[in-house]
Amino acid sequence: MYSLLFKSFIRTKIAAISLVLLLGVGIISVFIGKQFNIKQEKAIIEAESFQEESIKRNVKYHNDDLGLLLYYLRFSLVKESNSLTGLSIGQRDVNPSILAVTIRGLEGQKYDTDFENPSLLLSGNLDLGFVIIYLFPLVLITLTFNLYSEEKEGKTWRLIATQTSSPLNFLFKKLSIRVFFLYIVLAILFLLAIIILQLPINEALLAFITVSVLYLAFWTSLCFIIISFRKNSSFNALTLLSLWIVLTILLPASVNNFVVNTYPVPETLKTMVEQRDGYHKKWDMAKEVTMDKFFAHYPQYKKYPVPEDKFSWLWYYGMQQMGDDESLESSKIMKEKIKLREKVSEAISWAIPTMHTQLTFNQIAQSDLNNHLSFLDRLDKYHEELRLYFYPKIFENYPVRNENWKEFKPKYASIVHTINWTNSIFPLVLITVIISLISFFNLRKI
């Protein structure tokens, strides 16, 4: 039986063309992921070179004033690269993996990013995650929508029913052959991705593959439940394509709109305004206003005098610090609301397999928004370390030439993501089992 069904399937031109096209697009997506990873690695190398050259050049021209030198010097924090990002780029093309900051006010520097072509940002990246979530289901629909109806419409179902001990088992075999070829394509793509992207064989990769397999199992069960109603081919195709549009486009967009409007973040603009006002308005105020707040933040610097009749770097960097301090509360609220948005989106996604899979892919590949927020938290700590190191030297007029500037290399931030297997696979397993059981009871009538 299997051999006959196999030969019948591979002779179908539309099936062969669909699988070849899917494989081709999948291979292209792997190379796009490779190009993205290369771009990220190149940017890291360039950041190291730029920081070294920038420090050398600025030290040459501002070697008599440490405060002025540090006004210009930028120090880079680099998020350690993850080769899995090539499988699911997520928000890595929007949120930078390298941030270069001075010791001046941080809030105004946090959200600097690279220039990108707006049309590319609009269309997004064709990574393997996109191919799995959007294109694999389309091909699966193409291969299975007429699984039962073609036999019924071709007047061969009665013959099959009389010549097989179990018509239901015949449909399972027919479905399994189609799904088998789809999984073969998926396996080939992952094998190529491991080789081309040089992916380490670890828990993260295993989780990505497992979620992919379960996601296709969900779509298989969804196709089968529509088939189980034993309608004609046109009804099956239209229903499945409608479900694809709803699950991949309509529902995720609706959830995004709901979350954005339910949890607005006006603090984004408020943080920027407070940071700027917190610094700029200090120019028109008495120095005591700034210094009292600065010394309250850093009591260890009270020993340094603040001249009233001339400019001092102690007062200037105090103003910069006040910009951050006065916008700190709004910045915290903004982060909390963004995290709440992510939490609510994840909770809703348990009922939307497409959305859940996309979020899970991004989490595993460390290209999600929470990962970027963690990176910004590391930037806060790094920036504070720079300030605490340089402030005393600035206030004491430490000679520029006495500092070993060669030691200041870009610092790397390692953000570890722990795989939550229950959250990753349980929603997909649950909904697949439920749909499969309903399909089974429907098909028992055959």
DSSP assignment of 362-379: HHHTT-SHHHHHHHHHHH
Give the pLDDT confidence score for residue 121 in this predicted structure.
45
Q: What distance in Å separates the CA atoms of residue 397 and residue 402, rounded to the nearest whole number?
A: 11
Q: pLDDT tens across 207-251, in order?
A: 999 999 999 999 999 999 998 888 888 899 999 999 999 999 999
Phi-psi region of 76 (alpha: psi -120 to 50; beta: other; left: phi over 0): beta
Mean predicted confidence (pLDDT) in 281-293: 79
Mean predicted confidence (pLDDT) in 417-437: 93
Integer-rounded Cα radius of gyration of the chain:
29
Residue 40 in tokens:
């990220």
- CA 327 to chain CA centroid, nearest Å: 27
Q: What distance in Å separates the CA atoms of residue 265 and residue 253, rounded to the nearest whole number?
A: 18
**pLDDT(434) > 80:** yes
Mean predicted confidence (pLDDT) in 334-354: 92
Give every CB contact of residue 233 below 8 A, 6+ residues apart in sequence.
145, 146, 149, 150, 153
Q: What distance in Å separates the CA atoms of residue 290 and residue 315, rounded to the nearest whole number?
A: 7
**pLDDT(113) > 60:** no
Q: What distance in Å separates the CA atoms of residue 440 and residue 283, rounded to the nearest whole number?
A: 75
Task: Give me the percent of the chain exceeding a pLDDT of 70.
Answer: 86
Please indicate whether residue 245 or residue 417 has the higher confidence score (pLDDT). Answer: 245
- Mean of the per-residue pLDDT values for the chain? 86
Cα–Cα distance list, 251 to 121, 135, 144 (Å): 21, 17, 24
pTM: 0.89
Q: Which residues are 98's β-sheet partners? A: 78
Task: Give me the percent of the chain exceeding a pLDDT of 90.
Answer: 53
Q: What angle do CA 71, 75, 80 make, to 5 degrees?
A: 160
Q: What distance in Å separates the CA atoms of residue 178 and residue 172, rounded to the nearest whole number?
A: 10
**pLDDT(116) > 60:** no
Give the pLDDT confidence score for residue 151 in this predicted structure.
65
**pLDDT(352) > 90:** yes
Using pLDDT thresholds of 50, 70 and 90, give the confidence band for residue 171.
Answer: confident
Give the pLDDT confidence score for residue 2 in this predicted structure.
59
Give the pLDDT confidence score for residue 350 in this predicted structure.
95
Q: pLDDT tens across 25-83, in order?
A: 999 999 999 999 999 999 999 999 999 999 999 999 888 899 999 999 999 999 988 89
Q: pLDDT tens across 294-314, in order?
A: 899 899 999 988 888 788 899
Alpha carbon distance, N-terminus to C-terminus of the chain = 19
**pLDDT(119) > 50:** no
Asked whether the CA dihedral 352, 440, 184, 19 is positive or negative, the reply is negative
Mean predicted confidence (pLDDT) in 263-288: 68
Cα–Cα distance list, 246 to 98, 227, 239 (Å): 37, 18, 10
Give the pLDDT confidence score for residue 232 in this predicted structure.
87
Give the pLDDT confidence score for residue 122 in this predicted structure.
45
User: Which of the residue ranges 191-195, 215-219, 400-404 would you say has the lowest mean pLDDT?
Assistant: 400-404
Give the pLDDT confidence score for residue 422 in this predicted structure.
93
Q: Which of 112-116, 221-225, 290-294 has the highest mean pLDDT?
A: 221-225
Mean predicted confidence (pLDDT) in 170-185: 87
Using pLDDT thresholds of 50, 70 and 90, give the confidence band for residue 443.
Answer: confident
Cα dihedral 9→10→12→16 (10° resolution): 120
Using pLDDT thresholds of 50, 70 and 90, give the confidence band for residue 268.
Answer: low
**pLDDT(160) > 80:** no
User: Which of the residue ranges 148-152, 172-176, 370-374 would you say has the lowest mean pLDDT?
Assistant: 148-152
Contacts for 38-42 with beta carbons within 8 Å, 24 or more apart?
A: 40/81, 40/85, 40/92, 40/97, 41/81
Q: What distance in Å separates the CA atoms of residue 292 and residue 289, rounded to the nearest whole number?
A: 6
Q: pLDDT tens across 54-70, in order?
A: 999 999 988 889 999 99
- The secondary structure element, H or E, covering residue 428 is helix 421-443
